[in-house]
Structure 1
Amino acid sequence: MKRQKQLRAIHRDLGYFYLGLIISFAFSGILMNHRESWHPEKYTVESKAIEVTLPPEEQITEKFVEQFVKGLGIEDKFKRHGIKKGELRIAFENTDVEIDLKTGKGEIVTFKKTPFISQTMKLHKNTSNWWIYYSDIFGLSLIIIAVTGALMISVGKHTFKRRGWKLALAGILFPLLFLFLLA
């Protein structure tokens, strides 16, 4: 009985302590799952159609892009460029440029960060040392929350030994199946 009370206390206190972070990670994780089709952390302020002449794909280097964007009049911090699905994509801090390589038609989209959503998604992308260590501690705490939750109930037909292990096994198998068979 004393062990059960200790498990409950650990489970409860870690759950309370990490409640905000769990909700924030879950929320931003859902948004991150859809970032390719919808850019949840930014909203469009202005969109401008352009038509330009581009060299062959193999000549589109970072040096070329740096010179090219000067002619577009974009005064924003350059982040990266790439070619994906026949489009030249150039990313800035608050501007995206997408141009079809064949036609030269594209658009310049200027956006602002979406309040709150942008900040929560930053949690998933942050790579500073202190955040990595804090996230590691959070991950270990989630493991402790899961284990203490599974071991709390020790009497009855809904214990881990009688029923919980089957559900836990199914919960482990589902992502593994998805990872190896569907991904």
Structure 2
Amino acid sequence: MNQQKIRNLHRDLGYFYIGLIISFALSGILMNHRDSFHAEKYTTESKLIVVKVPQENEINDDYAEELGKKLGIDDKFRRQKVEDGKFRISFEKNDVEIDMKSGKGEITTFIKTPIISSMMKLHKNTSNWWIYYGDIFGISLITIAITGAIMIPAGKFSFKSRGWKLALAGIIIPLLVLLFV
């Protein structure tokens, strides 16, 4: 493939996927920090509660869903877990967190953040057609990376002269993180 065809392929794939690249990049950054803050939703109400919590082995999805109803939550149940001494119940528009020892807790009601929650949903979507579109996108990103690396003609900024060192560093750093973190 000649230089001009490589440049054209790189440019056209970049143009075609610019919206998805930006969306995935932004939502990926936000997902990296989801333990610090929840950009996907914002709190509209917070209510303190006190409940009698059973033993951990008695807690299951049915119990969590029923407790939600008793607490006045009329919402779709998603999941529950007990971790680090906290009983957490997740509903579509509410979260409940209760201390297992004291029974003190909080109900947090939230609303999805427009646009941001939709972008983040792209990362989590598992419908069949989206998986295939995502696969095509992944292959296109590989193509964009390779064509970007080889489209610079020989010289001091080419892949052969300098680019391979940066590419190697870009591969080694994530591998080190995987091995040591």
User: What is the TM-score with the length of structure 2 in the denominator?
Assistant: 0.97
Counterpart residue number, 1:39: 38
Measure the CA separation in 2 of the matches of 1:66 and 1:156.
65
Matching of residues 43-58 of structure 1 within 5 Å? 43-58=42-57
Counterpart residue number, 2:71: 72
Counterpart residue number, 1:125: 124
1:12 aligned partner, one-letter code: R
1:20 aligned partner, one-letter code: G
Q: 1:63 deviation in Å?
A: 2.2
After superposition, give the CA deviation of every residue in 1:135-156 in whole Å (9 maximum; x if it has no partner): 1000000000000010011221
Q: 1:67 deviation in Å?
A: 2.3
Counterpart residue number, 1:162: 161
Q: 1:158 deviation in Å?
A: 1.2
Counterpart residue number, 1:28: 27
Q: 1:115 deviation in Å?
A: 0.6
After superposition, give the CA deviation of every residue in 1:57-116 in whole Å (9 maximum; x if it has no partner): 111122222222221111001111111211110001100000010110110011101011
Counterpart residue number, 1:151: 150
5+ residue gaps, structure 1, are none
Measure the CA separation in 1 of the matches of 2:5 and 2:65.
60
Aligned residues: 181
Could you tell which deviates more after superposition, 169-178 or 158-167?
158-167
Q: Give percent identity, aligned residues only.
A: 65
Measure the CA separation in 1 of the matches of 2:65 and 2:18.
44
What secondary structure sits across from 1:54 in the alignment? coil
2:4 aligned partner, one-letter code: K
After superposition, give the CA deviation of every residue in 1:16-49 in whole Å (9 maximum; x if it has no partner): 0000100000000001111122111100010000
Could you tell which deviates more after superposition, 161-170 or 58-67?
58-67
CA-based RMSD of the aligned residues comes to: 1.0
5+ residue gaps, structure 2, are none
1:31 aligned partner, one-letter code: L
Counterpart residue number, 1:107: 106
Counterpart residue number, 2:82: 83
Please say if residues 81 and 87 of structure 2, whose CA atoms lie closer than 8 Å, have aligned partners that are also in contact: yes
Q: 1:179 deviation in Å?
A: 0.8
Counterpart residue number, 2:5: 6
Please say if residues 75 and 93 of structure 2, whose CA atoms lie closer than 8 Å, have aligned partners that are also in contact: yes
Measure the CA separation in 1 of the matches of 2:79 and 2:20.
30
Please say if residues 154 and 160 of structure 2, whose CA atoms lie closer than 8 Å, have aligned partners that are also in contact: no
What secondary structure sits across from 2:102 in the alignment? coil
Measure the CA separation in 2 of the matches of 1:56 and 1:37.
29
